[in-house]
Amino acid sequence: MTELNPAFVLRSVQNVSFENREVPTLRDEYDVRVHVEQTGICGSDVHYWQRGRIGDFVLESPIVLGHESAGTVVEVGDKVKNVKVGDRVAIDPGVPCRHCDYCRAGAYNLCADTVFAATPPWDGTLQKYYVVAGDYTYLIPDHMSAEDGALVEPVAVAVQNCKVAGLRGGQTVLVFGPSPAEAEATAAALSESGNGVPVKAYRCDVRNSGEVASVMEAATEEVGGRRLDIVVANAGIADYAPALEYAEDKFRDMLDVNFNGAFWTAQAAAKIFERQFKAGGDGRGSIIFTASVSAILVNVPQKQAAYNASKAAVVHLAKSLSVEWVDWARVNCVSPGFIATDSKFRLWRPSLTMY
C-alpha cells in the first residue's frame, strides 16, 4: 500500500483543506526527510490565509502552510553528516542559495534567493513529511518535547536580538514608549517580581528633545548608578486613514512622535554613551529602535501611508547611526508585525477580524 503524506494546504484566500499528497523524495544527497511531529502557527501563516500575500510574496498557487517545526529524521542523503535516521531535530525553515555575495559573507539571512517554507511558491511544514537540507536541521535533546522543539525557530530570533544588542544581567535599561499608566504598571510588576532590580517610571514628551534628555540623565543617575547600558526607542503612534484625506496636523504629529521622538531618544542616549566611553572602561551602550514590518513592506489593504513612511525613516536612521556612533553605541532596529496593544484596539477595532 502506498504511503500518503497528509498536508494542510492553503488553496486560495481563506480557503484551506487537508489533502493527501505524495511523500516527498530527497532532491540531492545533502537532503534529509523529516517526519514532522509539531508545528507552530506563525503570523505569516495567518496573513497568507487572510490576504494571500505579504508584500511582494503573493499566493498564486496552493501551498502547504507552516514553518516552525520539529520532528524525527526518517531518511538521509549519502553526504549528510550532522544527523542520522532516528534523530529528533528542529527545522530551520529558510535555506539560502549559498552562492551569492551575502551568503559568502556569512549574512545568509539576507539572501534574496532563500527558499523559505510556506512562502509562495514554496511548501511549508504542515505535512507529515518534509524534505530540507540536512545542515538546516538541528538536534534537540531527549528531554525536549517536539512541541518545545517547534519553538526553537521563533525563540532563536529573540536570542539573536539579545546577542546582537549585547544584553547582560545587571544592565540598566531605559524604555521610551508606554503610556503613563502602562509604564507605572510595568514598573510595579517588575518591582514586585522579587529580583531586587530597581524599576522606576518617568514621564516625558518624546517630541521635546529637552524633556527626553532630562529624563535620560535622571534615569541614569537615579536607577543606573550613574551608568546607562541600553535604551529602547519604542514611543510611537499609529493611524489608519486614506492618504487623500490625511490632515496636515495629523501627518506632522505622526512624524514628530515616530521619527523625531526616536531621534531625540537616541541622541540623548548617545551623548551619555559617548561620555561613558571617553571616561574609559566598557562604556559602550546599546540603542534599540522599534520600527515596524510596515517600514519594509506595504500591508495590503491597510491605508497607513503616513505610518509606513515614519517607520521606514526610523529603519534608515538606525542604519545611519549604527555607522556614525560605532565607537560608543551599538545601534539596532527591530521591525515587529501587528501587536494587539490598547492603541491598536482603539484604532482598528472594526478591523480586528483581519488579524
Percentage, residues of the chain above pLDDT 90: 60
Check whether 34 has a pLDDT greater than 90: yes
Please give the pLDDT value at position 261: 96
Residue type at 80?
A: V
**CA angle (20, 25, 30) in 5-degree steps:** 145
Contact between 36 and 21 under an 8 Å Cβ cutoff? The reply is: no
User: What mean pLDDT is predicted for residues 232-261?
Assistant: 91
Q: Which of 111-120, 124-133, 198-207, 229-238 has the highest mean pLDDT?
A: 124-133
pLDDT band at 130 (very low <50, low <70, confident <90, very high): very high
For cell 486614506, the residue is 242
- pLDDT-derived band at 222, boundaries 50, 70, 90: confident
d(CA 128, CA 34): 8
Q: What local confidence, expressed as pLDDT, does residue 224 receive? A: 64
Q: Residue 355: pLDDT band by 50, 70, 90 thresholds?
A: very low
DSSP notation for 138-205: EE--TTS-HHHHHTHHHHHHHHHHHHHHT--TT--EEEE-S-HHHHHHHHHHHHTTSS----------
Peptide bond into 121 cis (omega under 30): yes
Question: Residue 36 pLDDT > 60, yes or no?
Answer: yes
Q: How far apart are CA 143 and CA 141, in angstroms?
A: 5
Q: Is the fold of 4-156 the same as that of 166-354?
A: no
pLDDT top residue among 303 and 268: 268
Q: Which three cell numbers stand for residue 44?
A: 505569516
Q: The domain 4-156 is classified under which CATH number: 1.10.4080.10, 2.60.40.420, 3.90.180.10, 1.20.1300.10?
A: 3.90.180.10
Give the phi and the psi of residue 12 in degrees, each rounded to 5. Answer: -165, 180
Which pLDDT score, from 0 to 100, does residue 159 have?
Answer: 84
Domain coordinates in residue numbering, the chain: 4-156, 166-354
Measured N-to-C along each axis, helices 305-324 and 248-255 cross at an angle, to the nearest 10 degrees, of 30
pLDDT of residue 181: 65
Mean pLDDT value of segment 129-142: 97
Pick the CATH number of 166-354 from 3.40.50.720, 3.40.30.10, 1.10.630.10, 3.40.50.150: 3.40.50.720
In the chain, % of residues over pLDDT 70: 84
pLDDT of residue 173: 66
Greater pLDDT, 337 or 305: 305
Higher pLDDT, 230 or 350: 230
Best-predicted range by mean pLDDT (166-175, 220-229, 234-243):
234-243
Query: How high is the pLDDT of residue 193?
Result: 59
Q: What is the predicted pLDDT for the residue at 354?
A: 52
